[in-house]
Amino acid sequence: MQPDHFELHYEGNATKNHSMDIAVTRDVLSALDILVQRVGKKTNKKEDIIVDVQAFKEGCFAIELAILGGVKVTAAHLMGLIGISAVSHGGILGYLDWKKGRKNIELVKGENGKIKVKDLDTNEVKNTTEEVVKLASDSKITAQLHRIFVEPFERLDLDRVFISQNNQTTVALPRTKAETLLEGAPEIHLDNWVLDHIVTVEQVSLTPDGKWRVYIHGHKRAVTATMHDKNFQKRVEEGAVTFRAKDMMEVVLEKNVWKKGTRKTNTYTICKVNKHWHADQ
């Protein structure tokens, strides 16, 4: 596969001599590698993704990089998901920027992985994809975005960071915008949604009305979910499906938020189990 090239630029007093602090540079490159690997992994494609530093550019401080993807997950697709190439939905970066500061958001799932996210206070609508929404809620991904786009401003005297591809700027973040880009992340501000998720099982319920304890990928705490897939529940009760520690399931998960005054209560429902496997498989 041919690699996709892009350039990451940092502008400001700290880089006016076409140089940049080596510790910050090291952390940015490390974060870029982790970010691309994480996004590739979360697409469930078992392929090796390679990030290469191609050259250091003059002008401000710019690094030319290349991502080499695979057959199933191409470099162009990865870059589009992150939002560092020009895509209509804006990728993770575009989605995080759009939802920043919005408190009352509704998610409507469409066909072929498309999603409309509506601000119920302003009626503004953002068109994106289910894949982007899930990736944007992954704490490891947002942590790397913070290292690339926020931390350099905290550590150096910079004015802006931008990414270009084929001599066209695809992402541009001045200091003021970069500092607030990830406000609220990785918290999901979507009140109600139904999405495909991979969850790690902490506790199995052997009764139809019992509660399952699962970890949603990207969340640090387990949540309680009601199992509504009767066929799968029956197989569990009959012993046809067995569980070990840290087993995983690919499920259709529904979240509903109930509001009483200022207090919110989240409820989760496993609508359907598409796949179950042991952690060592």
Q: What is the pLDDT along the chain (281 residues), one digit of tens a residue?
A: 556 777 888 888 888 877 888 888 888 888 888 888 888 877 766 666 777 766 565 556 777 766 666 656 677 777 888 887 766 778 888 888 888 888 788 888 888 888 888 888 899 988 988 888 888 888 778 888 888 888 888 888 888 888 888 778 888 888 888 878 776 544 444 456 777 788 889 888 887 677 899 988 767 788 899 999 999 999 998 999 999 888 999 898 888 877 655 566 788 999 999 999 998 87
Select from 175, 159, 173, 152 the least CA-distant residue to 20. 152
Rounded Cα distance, 67 and 78, in Å: 9
Its pTM stands at 0.58
pLDDT at 1: 52
Cα–Cα distance list, 231 to 33, 235, 263 (Å): 41, 6, 35
Select from 270, 250, 266 the least CA-distant residue to 210. 270
Find the distance separating the first CA and the last CA of the chain, reported in whole Å.
Answer: 28
Q: Please name the helix (run of DSSP H) or strand (run of DSSP E) that holds residue 230, with its range, or none.
A: helix 230-237
Cα–Cα distance list, 48 to 1, 44, 51, 127, 135 (Å): 12, 12, 10, 30, 19
List, in sequence order, the alpha helices (H) in 71-191. Answer: 75-82, 91-99, 130-136, 139-149, 151-155, 175-180
Cα–Cα distance list, 261 to 103, 120, 161, 264 (Å): 15, 18, 41, 8
> In this structure, which topology does domain 195-277 adopt according to CATH?
OB fold (Dihydrolipoamide Acetyltransferase, E2P) (2.40.50)
Strands (DSSP E) contained in the chain are 4-11, 50-57, 61-68, 105-109, 114-119, 125-129, 160-165, 168-174, 193-203, 211-216, 223-227, 248-260, 263-277
